[in-house]
Amino acid sequence: MFEHDVIVVGGGLAGSRAALAIAQNYPGLDVALISKVHPIRSHSVAAQGGIAASLQNVDSQDDWLTHAFDTVKGSDYLADQDAVQVLTQSAPQVIIDLEHLGVLFSRLDDGRIAQRAFGGHTHRRTCYAADKTGHAILHELVNNLFRYGTKIYLEWYVLQLIYEEGEVKGLVVLCLETGQIEVLRAKAILFATGGYGRVYNTTSNDFASTGDGLCLAVQAGLPLQDMEFVQFHPTGLYPVGVLISEAVRGEGAYLLNDQGERFMANYPISHNKMELSPRDITSRNIALEIRAGRGIGGGEFVHLDVRHLGAEKIISKIPFAREEGMRLLGIDCIDAPLPVRPTVHYSMGGIPTTVDCQVLDQQSNPVPGFFAAGECACVSVHGANRLGSNSLLECVVFGKRAGEQIGAYVQGRAFPKLDPRPYQQQAEARIAALLNQDGSSRLYPLRTELQNLMTYHCGIYREEQILSDGLEKVQFLKSRYQNDLRLDDRGRIFNMELTAALELQSLFTVGEVILASARARRESRGAHYRQDYEDRNDSQYLRHSLGFVDSHQQVQTSTRPVNLSLEALDPARFTPQERKY
């Protein structure tokens, strides 16, 4: 059995920032980072538009409380206000930290960090590195980890979270290169395992965003919070779903329907902010235009037009968006509009944690030895709808905080008592069973079927019966996965089909929890829109939902309260009210 004081799972922004905080502040601790892909291939590297902080470089009227208010309002009042306070108050300092680590931000003429407009933010506060911000930040974080000599388990896949006797003790891990299985124990474990976009058939997320961490938590008997809130980004390139950053609208792009109208003006909820309305509203409007037959040529997409910005601005401010259009569709946005439609982008929900990143169980008690941060966590700063550029911020603020908290937490904490043998044997048996099963169902068609089911039954618009049918169908499909799968590759070394089969288990588990949570919330709030319950219902649903699997392996739901602490500081702004823009 291997052991480390602290194990961080995930090499994206949240995991790397946490591991770095431990290496910097607690040099005596043995910290290891595990990642199923090379850390700089984590989805964070694809983040484009930027990271929010009230630096006041462009807009002297901005401050953290205004950033906090925009975030809470954007969340449709479901965010925990104590966590939002930590997020927005810490933001300017974490940007300065990143700069000191070597991150190359875009600049104003006077040399200060530039800031651009983003949807739902009332001030220009999004810092950026052209439209390749995630790339700029992640590369510096990972370089710094190499500099500190942090142990990295490169391309190791976590198979199981060991949670016994009321504490988290370790992990079961598969080395993808050799097929070897190991049990690891630690005094504390941090999950920073990212999102689950691949549960759906059209997503901006990378292939590794399969919600593994979420599934492992559920399988260990822990709940997931607010999983019904799936963010659809308004502008996925049609038909592939690859992201065209919100920075493009931040720089002034128009959304046009088949009649050439800027249709955002036709909806009362978006006629003020137009293309810079929050994502839930913009995505719904695009879906409505398409439904009404006003997609381009009556089809499944609208146009995103930047021609009026001019070549110089396009090339300097949004070069990546232009490259993507040319590379994937052969369209140069200097000369022609880009076809776009909403694409699954981000998970507002996740593993519930305290503001100090410690994971909470179903009774809202902290789980000893277990922490989570970044997209897989639900601390909750985004509530029912995340504002663009607040996620990179969450990863950096709560990644750093998690590292600092864990460093202090493990001082004086002994290694847990753990017998690795049963875990090792079970994992060996599970892998052998997957490899040797002689069913008739093939992996990739099963995955596509699941993704299509989720997209149809739990998309932008939802309804009780369609959700119930979806849950039933997903469970039926899961039984085929469990009993009737056949893999073509039966080897243990770099078996990508085996990895995909393990990831498919995650997609099933996460999909079930999303459907059950969406069915239980009989109201419309943020990204969760119920056609059979079109209004927000604070008296019953101003609560976080919890989805979990009971001892009979059935999905169940319950709720827990929302923290409204900023309301006391500024009741006029923070008391829940109707969300208008």
Ligand X SMILES: Cc1cc2nc3c(=O)[nH]c(=O)nc-3n(C[C@H](O)[C@H](O)[C@H](O)COP(=O)(O)OP(=O)(O)OC[C@H]3O[C@@H](n4cnc5c(N)ncnc54)[C@H](O)[C@@H]3O)c2cc1C
**Positions that interact with ligand X (CB under 6 A):** 9-15, 34-37, 39, 42-44, 46-51, 133-134, 157-158, 192-195, 204-205, 208-209, 212-213, 243, 346, 374-376, 388-392, 395
Residue nearest to ligand X (CB): 12
Going by their DSSP bridges, the two strands 543-549 and 224-225 should be labelled as antiparallel
For tokens 């601790």, the residue is: 29
Task: Kindly tell me which of 155 and 261 has the beta carbon lying closer to ligand X.
Answer: 155
Sequence-distant (6+) residues with CB within 8 A of 158 are 9, 34, 36, 171, 172, 173, 174, 193, 212, 213, 216
d(CA 53, CA 125): 6
d(CA 26, CA 334): 50
d(CA 22, CA 371): 14
d(CA 451, CA 207): 13
Task: Kindly tell me which of 39 and 339 has the beta carbon lying closer to ligand X.
Answer: 39
Q: CB of 76: closest distance to ligand X in angstroms?
A: 18
Q: CB of 538: closest distance to ligand X in angstroms?
A: 28
DSSP helix/strand/coil, 155: coil
Q: How many residues does the chain have?
A: 581
Q: CB of 206: closest distance to ligand X in angstroms?
A: 7
Task: Kindly tell me which of 50 and 295 has the beta carbon lying closer to ligand X.
Answer: 50
End-to-end Cα separation, the chain, in angstroms: 56
Catalytic site residue 249?
no
Q: CB of 276: closest distance to ligand X in angstroms?
A: 15
Helix (H) or strand (E) holding 36: none
Q: CB of 173: closest distance to ligand X in angstroms?
A: 7
Asked whether the CA dihedral 376, 378, 381, 387 is positive or negative, the reply is: positive
d(CA 292, CA 302): 12
Sequence-distant (6+) residues with CB within 8 A of 479 are none
Does the N-terminal peptide bond of residue 39 adopt cis geometry, omega within 30 degrees of 0? Answer: no
154: region left, alpha or beta (phi > 0 left; psi from -120 to 50 alpha): beta
For residue 492, count other CB atoms closer than 10 A to its CB.
18
Sequence-distant (6+) residues with CB within 8 A of 57 are 108, 112, 113, 114, 115
For residue 427, count other CB atoms closer than 10 A to its CB.
18
Sequence-distant (6+) residues with CB within 8 A of 322 are 314, 315, 332, 333, 334
Task: Kindly tell me which of 214 and 520 has the beta carbon lying closer to ligand X.
Answer: 214
Is residue 536 a contact partner of residue 525, using CB atoms and an 8 Å limit? yes
d(CA 165, CA 154): 30
Q: CB of 542: closest distance to ligand X in angstroms?
A: 25
Is residue 548 a contact partner of residue 218, using CB atoms and an 8 Å limit? yes
What does 465-511 look like in DSSP terms, one character per residue?
A: HHHHHHHHHHHHHHHHHHHSB--S---STT-HHHHHHHHHHHHHHHH
Task: Kindly tell me which of 44 and 144 has the beta carbon lying closer to ligand X.
Answer: 44
d(CA 401, CA 396): 8
Task: Kindly tell me which of 7 and 542 has the beta carbon lying closer to ligand X.
Answer: 7
d(CA 523, CA 534): 6
Q: CB of 39: closest distance to ligand X in angstroms?
A: 6
For residue 493, count other CB atoms closer than 10 A to its CB.
11
Task: Kindly tell me which of 192 and 274 has the beta carbon lying closer to ligand X.
Answer: 192
For residue 464, count other CB atoms closer than 10 A to its CB.
14
Catalytic residue selected from 41, 125, 185, 279? 279
> Annotated active-site positions, please?
279
